[in-house]
Amino acid sequence: MKKPVNIIFHIDLNAFFASVEMIENPSLKQKVFAVGGGLNFQRGGILTTASYKARHYGIRSGMSISEAMNLYPKLIVVPNRHKLYHKYSRLFIDYLKTYTHLVWQVSIDEAYMDVTSLSDQIHPLELAKKIQKELIRLYQLPSSIGIAPTLFLSKMASDMKKPLGITVLRKRDIESKLYPLPIKDMFGIGKKTQPKLIRLGIETIGDFVKQSNHDLILKVMSEKSYQGYMKDIKGESSNVVDPSKYALPKSISNETTFSFDTDVETLLIDTIKQLFEESFLRMKHDDLLCKTVGIKLRFNNFRTISKSRTFLTHTDDQSFLLQELLDIFDETYGQQPIRLIGISLNQLELKKDIKVTYDLFNYLEKEQQKDVINNAIDKANEKVGKEVVKKLP
């Protein structure tokens, strides 16, 4: 008996941060704008999302604001509002779960759905159209949907047509739809590996699968990695949507690669704050506590260092965790231009699973945390010449 084929949707919200900003401020729909920056977004910072009108001018996420302004001087830059984005993300995921519990959220703006059991009631293509229309009608969120028998193929399919695309990618379509794509568009191929493959003449996914290129490709990756990619391309990789796979992470990390090497310290600090805010919101959403924080720096010569700090007790004190990350950065950074920066929140545990017993040691640590925060508040108040932030009691 022939094994039934799974039907997997990959649903990707189009230019999500920009879409939310247009919902909140409809006048932006007619403007060339992008979302990004840190606390000093007017003087520096990194773009997290470019609207489609901005992309027309070559502006993209990961680009510095000054670089984007050079491409289009009239660009409007809207500061990030992560709490708002998480609100709409929850609406998005909760809506998908009205169809099936087999929903796996993989980022703030994308998720996989296994709709195999629903195909007896409604054709998958009709269901995709319904979901796409409902997301716009209910929440004004445009999306692209990939329909395929595996996770990898559905992800590739959703990227093929944006915005508001629906693409079906069956195994028999792989050669005609997947092979012609440039290798840089292949999900999972790292940014460092892409140029190496291109230099070897591996310019498309079709070039990658040619047996004659096997030995050539092994110059830049292991046999195990190569075989993994081949399984992905051929539609032989995972078709399991497991909602609990990353439901309770033991760590949350967030990093960004700049489109240029930079040693502008204010930009680096703002980026750390932005990365931390995104990670912290996820940690709080899952009701988790953190015991270790870390910083990752990759310099312009590709040397990478990671430093972390572990506390005596778990905590979700936002100010304390951020200050610890900034302290690690201050101790680690040596003014060398940086290509990539990242932060991590580690040794995460559910708040309900952590029983706090106050003894002399963790009481002193709590007091030390309070001192760190109050010292930071003192510095901020000194800069403006008056008390704008109250100290902790």
DSSP secondary structure, 33-97, as one string? EEEE--TTTTTS-BEEEE-HHHHTTT--TT-BHHHHHHH-TT-EEEPP-HHHHHHHHHHHHHHHT
CA 231 distance to own-chain centroid: 25
Helical (H) or strand (E) element with 267: helix 265-285
What integer pLDDT is reported at residue 250 of this predicted model? 79
Active site residues: 110
Which residues fall within 8 angstroms of residue 24, CB to CB, at 6 or more apart?
84
Rounded Cα–Cα distance for residues 206 and 215 (Å): 15
* Nearest alpha-carbon partner for 112 in 7, 38, 40: 7
Neighbours of 189 (CB within 10 A): 18
Rounded Cα–Cα distance for residues 363 and 357 (Å): 9
What are the φ and ψ backbone dihedral angles of 161, each rounded to 5 degrees?
Answer: -140, 105
What integer pLDDT is reported at residue 263 of this predicted model? 87
**Which pTM was predicted?**
0.67
pLDDT tens string 59-103? 998 888 889 999 999 999 999 888 899 899 999 999 999 999 999
Which residues fall within 8 angstroms of residue 214, CB to CB, at 6 or more apart?
226
Q: Give the helix, strand, coil percentages of the chain, each rounded to 5.
A: 45, 20, 35
Q: Are 339 and 302 in contact (CB under 8 A)?
A: yes
Query: 10-residue block means of pLDDT along the chain (393 residues)?
Result: 79 96 96 77 72 95 89 93 90 96 91 94 96 97 97 96 96 96 93 92 96 95 94 94 72 87 88 91 85 92 91 90 94 88 91 56 50 60 53 48
Q: Are 290 and 280 in contact (CB under 8 A)?
A: no
What integer pLDDT is reported at residue 41 of this predicted model? 44
Instruction: Read off the tokens for 341.
Output: 């920066």
Distances (CA, A) of 94 to 90, 104, 105, 111, 116: 6, 11, 10, 11, 19
Q: What is the β-pairing status of strands 304-315 and 166-168?
A: unpaired
* Nearest alpha-carbon partner for 288 in 368, 347, 356, 242: 347
* Nearest alpha-carbon partner for 49 in 65, 67, 36, 66: 36
Rounded Cα–Cα distance for residues 123 and 262 (Å): 51
